[in-house]
Amino acid sequence: EAGVVQSPRYKIIEKKQPVAFWCNPISGHNTLYWYRQNLGQGPELLIRYENEEAVDDSQLPKDRFSAERLKGVDSTLKIQPAELGDSAVYLCASRAGAGGAGTQYFGPGTRLTVL
């Protein structure tokens, strides 16, 4: 079974440029997460989807970040414009079903460097 797929794995951009990350969750997983992980820290949730609905986006900086999950499968996270402080690893995770139980499976992440 394929795991969570993310692309690109690495991205280097100049500040004020736009950037987009893509995630393909494990087949059949209803719940999809985007996290940001700063160096030396644990991941922090940005947004959670149940199917195509964003059920928790309270931590997403909506002035510059946006996300979508069309058809409840793949998801895209966008930053426009990027700032120096956005440099981090962006992780996508998925989980079967809804509610509180179950293991989250993580992708390898996209390492973003903003110059």
Partner 1 sequence: KQEVTQIPAALSVPEGENLVLNCSFTDSAIYNLQWFRQDPGKGLTSLLLIQSSQREQTSGRLNASLDKSSGRSTLYIAASQPGDSATYLCAVRDNDMRFGAGTRLTVKP
Residues that bind partner 1 (CB under 8 A): 4, 33, 40-45, 48, 56, 91, 93, 100-101, 103-109, 111
Closer of 74 and 81 to partner 1 (Cβ): 74
Closer of 22 and 105 to partner 1 (Cβ): 105
- Nearest approach, Cβ of 25 to partner 1 (angstroms)? 13
Determine contact, residues 14/72, Cβ cutoff 8 Å: no
The tokens describing 73, both together, are 């499968």
- Nearest approach, Cβ of 112 to partner 1 (angstroms)? 13
